[in-house]
Amino acid sequence: MTPKDAVGLAREKKARMVDLKFLDFIGIWQHFTIPMSEFNEDVFDEGLGFDGSSIRGWQPIHASDMLVVPDPATAVMDPFMEAPTLSLICNIVDPITKEAYTRDPRGIAQKAEAYLKSTGIGDAAYFGPEPEFFILDDIRFDQGPQHGYYFLDSVEGIWNTGREESPNLGYKPKHKEGYFPVPPTDNFQDLRTEMCLVMEEVGIQVECQHHEVATAGQGEIDMKFDTLLRMGDKLKWYKYIIKNVARKWNKAVTFMPKPVFGDNGTGMHTHQSIWKDGQPLFAGDKYGGMSDIAMWYIGGILKHARALNAFCNPSTNSYKRLVPGFEAPINLAYSSRNRSAAVRIPMYSPSPKAKRIEIRFPDPSCNGYLAFAAMLMAGLDGIQNKIDPGKPLDKDIYGLAPEELANVPSAAGSLEDALCALSDDHEFLLKGDVFTQDVIDTWIEYKMENEVNQVKLRPVPYEFSLYFDC
């Protein structure tokens, strides 16, 4: 779609407002809105100004002016605004140099795609994330100098079997037994269906939706794979739609990796493959029907996995999911079919076009543009250096004897560990100027100061159970 097409779409749909969306450095969608009287084709060349110093991780106050430049290919009607509103996803540009801003996550994704093409290895990287989420009826949290708590609730929560609900009808999935029960045990079939239908309105092709393993309304909606940049865009629409449809039903949705103690957390298994000239490059005669290129790609992912955790699992809460016993792939190995491996080779179809790998450690607290770009760069490093991923591990990793498990490396155990790994291992991200040293340094500094250290400073409720009477 050209700028002319985008303006024409707005007029055809009788839009009264135009919403400009962009992603902050950490991963939250931001926006501002202009009336149709201010919208024309010049906006796509000249951009619109805003204060970059007010966006997390971006400009200092003495150099705060930035431009948003909308991408006409992203033009769709926003499905939630009361007044007809055209929505556009934007890139961030320096107003003086007119160059792409190096800390713009969408710009980093674009550079990753360009770098792939420059290598000659392939011309398209496809990503298919599977973000999970919890649908809640109530969420409260607070922290002060003398108190700190959180409380969440769901009509589906197994802890509510004895609650007076006038009447309590039961039908609450047990811990780890929420995978695929039909209604009425699955309370949210119609809600997830509405989410799917709204996704289709903005051009997201949905493959399926279902209840997930945990109690308390855990669900998943799967999107058809797409190129790295477009899937980054779709992942933001995905979260936006799910949260807003849930709010319409007087529900809340969280993508926190581990909001519920004692049950499965929320992951974002991410399928990926590389193609060239319309042909898949991951199909071959190696293990699992994969090619040498695919095996080297796996080698790169496993080699750099702990550094990747810093982008793919970027919250302190992520590492409450990455623990043994809840299907979390903390052990850095690969396998066909085995879901306890960090990298799985799906075996659903023998078609070469279906050959892909599934990276199982990411979670949906991530900034999709950065996580996808980082995984691609690790995989490309594996291909360029022909990194051998070693032998597959076709056993249940959680059932291995300690002496066997000792030879299997593990993912980072905390966000601090992951950031330290990224500090030590990021040269592969700097190739092609995809991630700059400034981006790496700013990410580590921001996460350490604003998340790791802040969580370290605060007592948590369970510590009183452990230590109050010490």
> 100 exposed, middle or buried (CB, 10 Å; 0-12, 13-18, 19+)?
middle
SS3 state at 307: helix
Q: Look up 11 and say whether it is catalytic.
A: no
> Cα–Cα distances in Å, from 394 out to 288, 289, 338?
11, 15, 6
Q: Which of 156, 220, 263, 363 is catalytic?
A: 220
Q: Which of 38, 51, 65, 207 is catalytic?
A: 51
Calpha distance 172→178 (Å, rounded): 9
User: How do strand 124-136 and strand 226-227 relate by DSSP bridges?
Assistant: antiparallel
Q: Look up 339 and say whether it is catalytic.
A: yes
Q: Which of 78, 113, 132, 263 is catalytic?
A: 132
Q: Which of 11, 337, 339, 458 is catalytic?
A: 339
Q: Look up 140 and say whether it is catalytic.
A: no
Q: Look up 358 and say whether it is catalytic.
A: yes
Q: Which of 103, 106, 269, 344 is catalytic?
A: 269
Calpha distance 467→420 (Å, rounded): 30
- DSSP run (H or E) holding 247: helix 228-248
Q: Which of 19, 78, 130, 263 is catalytic?
A: 130
Q: Look up 113 and say whether it is catalytic.
A: no
Q: Look up 269 and say whether it is catalytic.
A: yes
Rounded to 5 degrees, φ, ψ at 18 are: -130, 125
**DSSP string computed for 121-137:** S-SEEEEEEEEEEEEES
Calpha distance 289→304 (Å, rounded): 24
Calpha distance 198→454 (Å, rounded): 37
Q: Look up 247 and say whether it is catalytic.
A: no
**DSSP string computed for 393-427:** --S-GGGS-HHHHTTS-B--SSHHHHHHHHHHS-H
SS3 state at 371: helix
First to last CA, the chain: 66
Q: Look up 51 and say whether it is catalytic.
A: yes
Q: Which of 71, 358, 416, 451 is catalytic?
A: 358
Residues 375-386 as b or e (16 or more Cβ within 10 Å = b):
bbbbbbbbbeee
Please answer whether residues 302 and 342 qualify as being in contact, where contact means their C-beta atoms are separated by less than 8 angstroms.
Answer: yes
User: Among all residues, which ones are annotated catalytic?
Assistant: 51, 130, 132, 212, 220, 269, 339, 358, 360
